[in-house]
Amino acid sequence: MHILNTIKTAGTQHSSESEKRTIIIINSLAFLTSMLVFALGGVFYLLVNSLLILLPLLLEGIGMLAVIALNGLGKKDAANFTLFALHYLAAGYWTTLLGNAIPIEVVIAFLLIFLICGSFLVYRAHKVRIVSLVAIAVLLVLIQANTYFGVIRPMDISPTSAYIMRLCTTGGMLTFILFVIIQFMKEINRLMDNLNKSNNVLAMNAAFLRETFHELKTPLNSIYGIAQLLELARKENKQVPVMEEIGPDLKNLLAASQLSKNIVNNVLDLKRIEAGKFLEIKINTLHLRNCLEECMAMNQYTGNLHGVKIRLRYDLPELHIESDELILTKIINNLTSNAVKFSPPNGQVEIHVNRSGQLLCLRVMNEGVIAPERMEKLFHAFESERNHIASGTGIGLHLTRQLITLLEGDIRVMTTDQHTIFECTVPFKAAPPQKTTEKKFELKKNEFEGLKVLIVDDNEMNQYVIRQFVSKGGAHTILKANGQEALEAALSEKPDIIITDSQMPVMSGKEFLLQLRAQPGFADTPFIVISGDAFNKYSNEAEDLLRAGAHAYFNKPFSFEDLYTEMIKHLPAKSVTT
């Protein structure tokens, strides 16, 4: 056994695991071939006493042993080539020499299964595999042509000897075929084991990400909420000197909060696409110019940090189009965010929108250039252009390309002497003008006066942020920490609107909603869910809650403007001071 193990592992020293597997397969196959050649060759020579059999058998057997020696010398490429070359030559020679003593069907099976699968098992290079296929095809054609035309006549063999040879050659070739099948099964099992290990690691990573992002989104929601509260206070008290003094710092805080929110959302969207959960396109009518201006305003916070200005050139007669508003907004926002991030101080970002035939063209240009060899890599996951101005996570552009592909569009990057331009195209379809009834975000002191707002969250800081916001409008707030407490409060207090978290102890937001809707008089009570579950999109939590009767759904961290818009939309008109 020690000798066999030495033969099998010859040349595996100082090799990678992948190379070791290949060397062991080649050595095992070479040794098996040499033993079969010497054993069956002895039988053939006894049946047909001819040097045409003896000499080739000796050459083939010794050649197979030489394959092991080549691997032992570290010449694995030469060993691989020698092994398959000897098998090609042997298949052609013995088929031609022995004629009916070798069943042609078995030879074909040998060539197709053993040589093709064997070469594919050993060789990974695409070109080498093609050469192997071509060589086998040529050999098959030559064998069939010689069988049909009789160019080279086989040697005369008695029927009894031919029958014995036929049994021997069939058994030998089936042994080779079985060897390759067993090796393929081992390789498949190995790959399956690796896949299972990878899946386990991915599951652990997913669980880690879920917990990490959930824990991250809660304080981020508080930071973003408090920054928005301070901004509202600054606008209300512009005449107070200290408010003007903190203005620049407050803008920086809002920019950092917005950037953190974008990074978290990009990571989650990318994981959602990888999980195959972002495939449903929902076409609706959207006001394109408003969408662009909202993205510009959001990214201007970051631009203000370095004096970067964002300018829009809107060369479309249409204001409304039909597209997936969520995906298109993410595309615009990511391209704008990337341009702002990598613009030099006091630079300018230009967004140009026009139409080319049946395509909507969006060009985002910023100052600065990218090396040509870096352009294509920018769209790879976790590839980012890093320079003295800024650095990124490498997620945004990769995600953007994925989203554009979902809309059946395309994106490319170009550079001039001074600018970098990202140009994306998506299908264009104009929509008829829509009447907009949206109220501008300008919270007045008495706007929610007389309203009862039930706020449900197990995190006191989140409660505080929402309470402070609605209280600025004059609303009376009721605070509860879980769905059970909230249900009892709703039945006794009869709130005008409910704002709740989704994941809570004792009773979740969804269970609270279902039980509330089952109570008389609560079928239409406005119900807004704000979730901190990082992976809620994987389980379609938003759709489930909206179907169950929720009026709106937000992910943390959320903006007060979005919450205000939904409150105005769903609160009774008589209760809101306009």
Alpha helices in 275-353 (DSSP H): 288-304, 325-341
pLDDT reported for residue 395: 66
pLDDT reported for residue 277: 59
More confident residue, 472 or 281: 472
The pLDDT of 131-147, averaged and rounded, is 87
Q: What are residue 350's phi and psi, to 5 degrees? A: -115, 130
pLDDT reported for residue 537: 46
Angle (CA) 321-322-327 rounded to 5° is 105
**CA–CA distances in Å: residue 545 to residues 49, 201, 275, 359, 549:** 87, 31, 21, 35, 6
The pLDDT of 547-553, averaged and rounded, is 92
pLDDT reported for residue 535: 57
The pLDDT of 369-396, averaged and rounded, is 59
Is residue 76 exposed (0-12), middle (13-18) or buried (19+ Cβ within 10 Å)? buried
pLDDT reported for residue 162: 92
Peptide bond into 557 cis (omega under 30): yes
Judge whether residue 529 has pLDDT over 90: yes
DSSP secondary structure code for residue 430 in this structure: B
Identical fold between 284-427 and 452-575: no
Amino acid at site 291: C
pLDDT reported for residue 2: 78
Judge whether residue 382 has pLDDT over 70: no
Confidence of residue 436 (pLDDT cuts 50, 70, 90): low
Alpha carbon 503 to its chain's center? 27
- Half-sphere exposure (CA, 13 Å, Cβ side) for 205? 7
pLDDT reported for residue 386: 43
% of the chain residues with pLDDT over 90: 39
pLDDT reported for residue 483: 94
Judge whether residue 323 has pLDDT over 60: yes
Q: Which residue has the tokens 């959930």?
A: 214
pLDDT tens figures, 451-470: 999 999 999 999 999 999 99
More confident residue, 212 or 338: 338
The pLDDT of 514-527, averaged and rounded, is 94
pLDDT tens figures, 54-107: 999 999 999 999 999 999 999 999 999 998 899 889 989 999 999 888 888 888
Q: Check residue 392 and give left, alpha or beta (phi > 0: left; psi -120 to 50: alpha).
A: beta
Judge whether residue 176 has pLDDT over 60: yes
pLDDT reported for residue 278: 56
DSSP secondary structure code for residue 112 in this structure: I
pLDDT reported for residue 393: 46
Confidence of residue 23 (pLDDT cuts 50, 70, 90): very high
Q: Facing residues of 287 across strands?
A: 320
Strand extents, DSSP E, 408-463? 410-415, 419-427, 452-456
Judge whether residue 440 has pLDDT over 70: no
Q: Evaluate if pTM is beyond 0.75.
A: no
More confident residue, 349 or 571: 349
pLDDT reported for residue 470: 93
Regarding the domain with residue range 284-427, which homologous superfamily does it belong to in the CATH classification? Histidine kinase-like ATPase, C-terminal domain (3.30.565.10)
The pLDDT of 141-160, averaged and rounded, is 89
pLDDT reported for residue 451: 92
Count of Cβ atoms closer than 10 Å to residue 55 Cβ? 10
More confident residue, 385 or 241: 241
pLDDT tens figures, 281-301: 788 888 999 889 888 987 887
Q: Which residue has the tokens 């489930």?
A: 544
Confidence of residue 495 (pLDDT cuts 50, 70, 90): very high
Highest-confidence range of 293-302, 522-531, 533-542, by mean pLDDT? 522-531
Q: What is the mean pLDDT of the chain?
A: 85
Distance CA 195, CA 198 (A): 5
Q: Which residue has the tokens 């304080």?
A: 219
The pLDDT of 508-525, averaged and rounded, is 94
pLDDT reported for residue 311: 95
Count of Cβ atoms closer than 10 Å to residue 571 Cβ? 18
Judge whether residue 210 has pLDDT over 90: no
Distance CA 265, CA 375 (A): 24
Correct CATH for 452-575 of 3.40.50.720, 3.40.50.2300, 2.40.30.10, 3.20.20.70? 3.40.50.2300
Report the 3 state secondary structure along 138-181. HHHHHHHHHHHHCCCCCCCCCHHHHHHHHHHHHHHHHHHHHHHH
Domain range summary for the chain, segments of one domain joined by +: 2-201, 284-427, 452-575
